Amino acid sequence: MFAAVFISPKVTPIYQTSVFTFEDLNALEAYFEQPGQSYMYSRNGNPNTDELAEDVNQLERGQGAVATSSGMSAILTALLVYCQAGDHVLSAEEVYGGSAALLSQELTRMGVQITFVPMAEMYSFEAQIQPNTKVMLVETISNPKMTVLDIAKVAQVCQAKDVKLVVDNTFASPVITRPLELGADMVIHSVTKYLSGHSDVTAGVVIAKEATDAQRAKQIVVAWGLTLSPFESWLAARGLKTLKLRMRQHSENALVLATYLQQHPKVGEVFYPGLPDHPQHEMAATQGNGQFGGMLSFRITDDVETVNRFLRGLTHMPFAPSLAGVVSSISYPKGTSHRALTPEQRENLGITIGLIRLSVGIEEPEELIADLEKALAAI
């Protein structure tokens, strides 16, 4: 009979369990006296979830992170770390529609005051700060118009006024920008997007500059039940292994497609920071280490049937309300990501009928151009 030989696995196994066992009461007490040394219940912690959080923490160079059940729960967690009923939150006006809805429709019900700052005032918003202002929420690259914020510049204003800066770094990823190094206090990601990268995970993550803020985020996730499952944590951690390679290809392809679209007679405007005429091109090149990401948007005629003909003309790119997968996809901000906004809000942001968002994948760019050419020919 052969003796059992235990070999350390190269890849972390999936700990698909809701609960862990203890040998006796001494082991139970050790769990509470020595946090992080063992596990009890997967809502409180799981090896797969912790691995994902630590991997992203290393990429963002933070002092602690916690994985969450979605990008939205990551945003909620980050805000709850810094504010409570009676406090005031600032947010860039041009943010993901779900973030805007969370702020204006849900946090206001909890007694939190919200003010949206126009993009033109993002470096001079001192007048918007109140005595009870606790936090400013911004995006590194905004959704859907691809406005790039100078994070260090925003951080200077926040630090001078003792306001915490939370940055949604989903569109950039830590490969392109690391906001904590530029003065942010907390970074969040929808792991669903670039970090996981294969459109098969729903997850989020919160990364903090200070260990105490990371600990508080962990408490919120556990208490509110915002924990990520072991299997999705495992999938996301696997996706992270190719993040740098994927981001390079996403960026290269997006620049090729943005250049093509900018020259097309049926396209009115193209929004991509990699284009030389983008308003923040030079700053984005410096802040993004020469990469500009895989997201762009463009405008065709403001007519519903024209948009429908374009969408139906695509063969390779699915019309899907998400982004950042290895397969390119098209989204429609007016009807999906920013649907919850009022018509007036969408008009102020330039989110019109003809605005289309393109998540550029890692396919051969010639294939993508051929698909766009066919769809544009149909309008």
Q: Which residues are the active-site residues?
A: 43, 96, 168, 193
Return the half-sphere exposure (C-beta side, CA atoms, 13 A cut-off) of residue 289: 11
Q: What angle do CA 28, 12, 62 make, to 5 degrees?
A: 80
| CA neighbor of 295 nearest in space, from 247, 336, 262 | 247
Q: Answer for the pair 177, 291: CB distance below 8 angstroms, yes or no.
A: no
Type of residue found at 146:
M
Q: Compute the Cα dihedral for 197, 201, 203, 209 and give only its sign.
A: negative
Please, what is the angle between helix 365-377 and helix 304-313, to 10°? 140
- C-alpha span between 340 and 82 (Å, rounded): 25
Backbone angles phi, psi at 140, to 5 degrees: -60, -50
Q: Which residues 6+ apart lie within 8 Å of 36 measured at CB?
A: 45
- C-alpha span between 114 and 100 (Å, rounded): 10
* Alpha-carbon distances, residue 158 vs 124, 155, 209 (angstroms): 10, 5, 15
